[in-house]
Copies of this chain bind each other. A is one copy, B any other.
Amino acid sequence: MIQTTSEENYLKTIFHHAGISNNAVTTNDIAASLGTKAASVTEMLKKLSAQKLIRYKKYNGVTLTDSGTKQALLIVRKHRLWEYFLVEKLKFSWDEIHEVAEQLEHIQSETLVERLDSFLEHPRFDPHGDPIPDKKGLIKKSDSQKLIDVTEKKEAIVNLVTDQPELLRYLSKIGISIGSKLKVMEKNSFDQSMLLLINGKNKVLISSSIANNISVQL
């Protein structure tokens, strides 16, 4: 059940592209992320599929199975723990850590990960603010935060909206309600407006005052 480094990288990439809602991911997207060619991706998808880590149907993109998701989350856990270690203990700045963590995340030793976690006193977020899954691959729900504070490229789920009927009406019109999945596509620094992708479908631009009134969790 141990994956090769390459298989792990594919799982991780699929996981990151699929987002929380485990959307189907395309061959080309994977190739682009990994810097490989589509043909190589197809080959690997067959291998991962044979291991039941992904659901793969020709020409149809892939989704992670539960088992695949768990594997991916454990790799993410390792990656983020090492990032935390590099910043907190070795005093790396957080733009130096990615390359090294990419290597460290593939070290195979459950003991190592758990001892590292203890040594670091069970951090819940990595230096980029991303949550660190626990040893079972579960991400503890983060406390909710204002949408306006969500970083670019992050996905979040709508949690609460203030009960101003006018705002609620507007939000429902553009397709935002509790439980909606939002991805922050762009944040415009001059006016704090945000371009959102709603439920993976529609793009909408919202003003900072609206973003300020939507509460989400990652």
B108 touches A96 (CB 8 A): no
Work out how many copies of this chain go into the complex.
2
Among the 9-residue stretches A53-61, A66-74, A87-95, the one with 4 or more Cβ atoms under 8 Å from chain B is A87-95
A112 touches B100 (CB 8 A): yes
Q: How far is the CB of A121 from chain B (nearest CB, A)?
A: 12
A108 touches B103 (CB 8 A): yes
In the complex, chain A residues 69-122 whose Cβ is within 8 Å of any chain B Cβ:
86, 89-92, 96, 99-100, 103-104, 107-109, 111-112, 115-116, 118-119
- A112 cross-chain contacts in B, Cβ below 8 A: 86, 90, 100
Q: How far is the CB of A94 from chain B (nearest CB, A)?
A: 14
Contact of A107 among B90, B96, B103 (CB under 8 A): B103
Q: Interface size on A (CB < 8 Å)?
A: 19
Query: Who on chain B is nearest to A112 by CB?
Result: B100
- A99 cross-chain contacts in B, Cβ below 8 A: 109
Given that A100-B112, A112-B100 are known contacts, is A119 also in contact with B107, CB under 8 Å in the complex? Answer: no
Rounded to whole angstroms, the CA-CA distance of A68 and B180 in the bound complex is 59
Rounded to whole angstroms, the CA-CA distance of A108 and B103 in the bound complex is 8
Query: Who on chain B is nearest to A100 by CB?
Result: B109
Q: Among the interface residues A91, A96, A108, A112, which one has the most CB atoms of the partner chain B within 10 A?
A: A112
